[in-house]
Amino acid sequence: MGEILVLVDHAGGRIRKPALELLTLARRLGTPAAVVLGAGESAAAIAATAGEYGAAKVYVADASEFADYLVVPKVDALAQIAQAASPAAVLVTSTGEGKEVAARLALRMGSGLITDAVDVAPGDAGPVAAQSVFAASYTVTSTVTRGIPVITVKPNATGSEAAPAAGQVEQVTVAFSEAAAGTRVVSRTPRASSGRPELTDAEIVVSGGRGVAGPGGFSVVEELADALDAAVGASRAAVDAGWYPHTNQVGQTGKQVSPQLYIANGISGAIQHRAGMQTSKTIVAVNKDPEAPIFDLVDYGLVGDLFEVLPQLTAEVKARKA
């Protein structure tokens, strides 16, 4: 079986959970080989973790270009590594940047591209990717018919399991293209941590919408989230109103989440919101309007005022956990 190149997503010197999922998934398709770009001093630790999760080889490249310029330096590095390694497939995490890197890489290599896979399985003619499309109303399976398949995979598409492998580090010196310096990253402000689980990684997500009525209102949502050890999500209406940061938006133009449990509070359930949460395992909604479309999706729906229901629920959860 061939090598499966996995571009390792990392931030703040740490490997991100979706990278562990990709390595786990890559083991089904072949021998995982991790690619760690621009990790500086953290590269060794990240490479070691990649090894623990099944990377037989870890290609490490470091250069200021990775931080100073947008997207293209990573494409240059991956193209160079892929050229030498002739992998059976390349896997990248489906983030805004990940998809752009994957797309340019595919075009350069003369390869077909599949984005936003929710599953990838081995097939007779290469990997078979499943996508959940049209706001999760269809499942589409597809293959790449030309070149080395380049596939981006959504966070939480699969679990992550350790499976120690050699993790042999190979240092790579990248010859950057002229295009690499095209778009300068003048400054970068890392997102402040809320101390809560990452939205896309979380087992439980508690969300608030327009029904939360004001920034102060989100405290009832946050208190429930903390009692459940959950991430906090928000509808676009709540984000547009300035009640909660955009990084927490769930939906078509926010994050797409697929937790074990999603609790929607004061959210009507518009198609664009559903596009971001419809694949959640268990869905609960609290809404005072019995006709709200969100109730079509739920495993458990509570018709009521969230300002009455949530504090009671939070207290009860805390009592049961104590």
Partner 1 sequence: MTLRIVVCVKYVPVATGDRRFADDKTTDRESVDGLLSELDEYAVEQALRIAEASGDAAVTALTVAPDDAQDALRKALSMGVDQAVHVNDDDIHGTDAIGTSLILAKAIEQTGFDLVVCGMASTDGTMGVLPALLAERLGVPQATLLSEIAIEGDTVTGRRDGDAATEQLRAVLPAVVSVTDRSGEPRYPTFKGIMAAKKKKMRSLDLDDLGLDAAEVGLSGAWTKVEAVATRPPRTVGTIVKDEGEGGRQLATFLAEQKFV
Ligand X SMILES: Cc1cc2nc3c(=O)[nH]c(=O)nc-3n(C[C@H](O)[C@H](O)[C@H](O)COP(=O)(O)OP(=O)(O)OC[C@H]3O[C@@H](n4cnc5c(N)ncnc54)[C@H](O)[C@@H]3O)c2cc1C
- State which of residues 140, 164, 166, 242 lies at the interface with partner 1 (CB under 8 A): 140
- State which of residues 2, 42, 95, 196 lies at the interface with partner 1 (CB under 8 A): 95
Both tokens of 157, joined, read 């598409």
Q: How far apart are CA 300 and CA 307, in angstroms?
A: 18
Look at residue 211 and give the partner it binds from ligand X, partner 1, none, a contact being a CB closer than 5 to 8 Å depending on partner kind.
ligand X
- Asked if residues 51 and 170 have their Cβ atoms less than 8 Å apart, the reply is no
User: If we measure between CA atoms, which residue out of 108, 112, 120, 103 comes closest to residue 4?
Assistant: 120
Look at residue 243 and give the partner it binds from partner 1, ligand X, none, a contact being a CB closer than 5 to 8 Å depending on partner kind.
none
User: If we measure between CA atoms, which residue out of 318, 213, 194, 321 comes closest to residue 265?
Assistant: 213
Both tokens of 193, joined, read 């941590």
- State which of residues 54, 167, 266, 301 lies at the interface with ligand X (CB under 6 A): 266
Span from 22-30, 59-67, 173-181, 268-276 in contact with ligand X (CB under 6 A): 268-276
Binding string, residues 30-49; x marks residues near partner 1 by CB under 8 A:
--------------------
Name the one residue in this structure whose structure tokens are 């769930």. Answer: 250
Span from 155-163, 171-179, 182-190, 262-270 in contact with ligand X (CB under 6 A): 262-270
User: If we measure between CA atoms, which residue out of 122, 164, 129 comes closest to residue 143?
Assistant: 129
- Asked if residues 82 and 3 have their Cβ atoms less than 8 Å apart, the reply is no
- Asked if residues 75 and 108 have their Cβ atoms less than 8 Å apart, the reply is yes
- State which of residues 4, 6, 71, 212 lies at the interface with partner 1 (CB under 8 A): 71
- State which of residues 57, 74, 104, 273 lies at the interface with ligand X (CB under 6 A): 273
According to the binding rule CB under 8 A, does residue 286 interact with partner 1? yes
According to the binding rule CB under 8 A, does residue 64 interact with partner 1? no
